[in-house]
Chains A and B, each alone.
Chain A
Amino acid sequence: MDKSRPGPGGPPPLSVTAAIRTEGLSKDYGFGRGLFDLDLEVEVGEVFGFLGPNGAGKSTTMRLLLDLIAPTAGSATMLGLDTRRRSLEIRRRVGFLPDDFALYPKLSGADALDYLAELRGGVDPKVRDSLSERLEAQLDRPVRELSTGNRQKIGLIQAFMHEPELLILDEPIAGLDPLVQQSFHALLAEVSSQGRTVFLSSHTLSEVERVTHRVAVLREGRLAVVDSLENLRSVAVQRLEIEFAESTPAEDFRALPGVREVEVNATHMTVAFEGSADALIKAAARHEVRAIRSRDDDLEELFLRFYRDGESV
């Protein structure tokens, strides 16, 4: 699996096993809005998370891939097929859940699914029934009477019910309660274990953290980073909280290698650092230490930094 990140040398070499591949894919809406020069590769069998704040270009990317909108530059392939020229064939093999999923309000969920299945020439009713059961979907009521979460369940069923090779899911857990989220995550794991590919977007890290192999972060229409979560964690800033017996000067720590930030509140010190903690621990050991605690929750902060200023790691 390609773990490389985009850098000054351009995108990583493209493999032949890509479920999705984009090259310079762009959609310029003007005024700096849109998607710009996206080089991305999602491999077959991968669960790939696409992160970014609202308006970063996640939905635009997905709509470009499904040929719902046309790129202003660049190209893309899905399952080895050009997304512009072979769109119909691609859509036969792909399941899509759009953001803010909407359906015919007068139809029941079952009738709406019947129609969408007919557009695919029919689906296996056993698969559909199984999905409905697992997600506890209410299919007998008109769509207009359903809550956001229950509508979203129908959206997931229609995306999965023809057992597509590739799933494109835009904010898939929006509105789902935690139990159904668990079922959804189990579903994703099954899909992945069958060698099928999932490309899902989210604006929250916690959603993709549990299920994805790799993530890409978009910021203001541009790719900020693409990497595995493990690699990102390894370069994320860590924090050490140290409780000293006496007030200890911050200056002793600020000059240490890897230290980014030191905050002192009486005898309590919080140190943000990258890389090895060796020098930091040795420096702390020169004082009487009453307690020491490490925090490993800074991946979220790392992503927020990408969101805010596109900082590279």
Chain B
Amino acid sequence: MSIPTLALELRLRWRMTAIAAGALFSFLLMLGALFPAIGGTFGQLKVGEGVSNLLGGADYGSLNGYLKAEAVSILAPLICGGIAVAFAAGSTAGEEEDGILSLVLAHPLQRSAAVLGKAAGLALAVLALGWVNWVGLVAAVALAGGGIGAGDLAAQSLHLTFFALVLGSLGLALGAATGQRALALGGAAGFGILAFLINGFAPLVGAIEWLKYISPFYYYSGHDPLSNGVDFGDLAVMGVSALALVAIAVAGLRRRDLRG
């Protein structure tokens, strides 16, 4: 792995990551501050099962359900997954399209070392977002009057980190294998949206229920880490998927001609 490449990735993309982290933290604080005023007002929303699945149960009557509906189910994975995809697409295909990667790889740097440096940068950025998510949730729960342990909040944040890592690694693989920024961004983001919908609606139809297993959302929140703590099986699936995608990124960049 190239340490200079890792350091540069963090330097080039810290601002984007910090802005996203700040937005996530602020939103979580706002949610926590609002809960005492609106908690219990809505109760369990009467919505279809699919929408209820998308909202993590749509239970606004409890702090746990409220956080799941407002942050855990959509917003946190949207921010963290989105940043991971943007990070990955920019660092591989983006640099290639800009003509920078050709210059860098004309230096004594193995392509695999370059990809691994970028993947490590992505992992650190995602880890930072996961940590901010945890701190934000701890603060939100405190503002809301307590009721969820820091351990469960950490479990949810850990699942979020792994989830974002999977989407980011997909962006990395697509970017490294094709050199096309739009394909890396669009492909990984599109898969994320599709995975979200599959996770919500596939369980409603017996014939396609199995599709939920290809959705990282299933492993992110399917076993409800906010209530049940860490599910190591889910983390393993996401971790192995991310590693496999990074391996594809390495192989993809090594086997092909560079553009630009």
A residues with CB within 8 A of B? 63, 66, 68-70, 88-89, 91-92, 94, 96, 98, 100-104, 106-107, 115-116, 118-121, 158
Contacts and interface: CB of A to CB of B under 8 A. Distances in A.
B108 A120 contact: yes
B100 A68 contact: no
B103 A120 contact: no
Interface string B86-110: 0000000000001110111111111
Nearest to B114: A119
9 contacts: A63-B102, A68-B257, A88-B110, A94-B106, A98-B103, A103-B103, A104-B8, A119-B107, A158-B103
B233 interface: no
A81 B2 CA distance: 24
A98 B99 CA distance: 9
Interface of B: 2, 4-5, 8, 11-12, 98-100, 102-110, 257-258
Contacts of B100: 102-104
Given A92-B108, A96-B106, A115-B4, A69 B257 contact: yes
Nearest to A66: B106
A69 B258 contact: yes
Contacts of B8: 104, 115
B95 to A, nearest CB: 8
A50 to B, nearest CB: 17
Contact of A101 (B5, B103, B107): B103
Nearest to A68: B258
A248 B72 CA distance: 96
A102 B98 contact: yes
Contacts of B98: 102
B107 A91 contact: yes
Given A63-B258, A68-B106, A96-B103, A119 B12 contact: no
Nearest to A96: B106
A244 B257 CA distance: 62
B11 to A, nearest CB: 8
A119 B102 contact: no
A228 to B, nearest CB: 29
B68 to A, nearest CB: 38
A70 B107 CA distance: 17
Q: Lowest 3 CB-CB distances: which A-B pairs, in order? A: A69-B257, A118-B4, A102-B99
A98 B106 contact: yes
Contacts of A102: 98-100, 103
Contacts of B110: 88
A153 B257 CA distance: 27
B99 A100 contact: yes
Contacts of A68: 102, 105-106, 257-258
> Residue among A63, A119, A120 with the most chain B CB within 10 A?
A119
> Residue among B2, B12, B107, B108 with the most chain A CB within 10 A?
B107
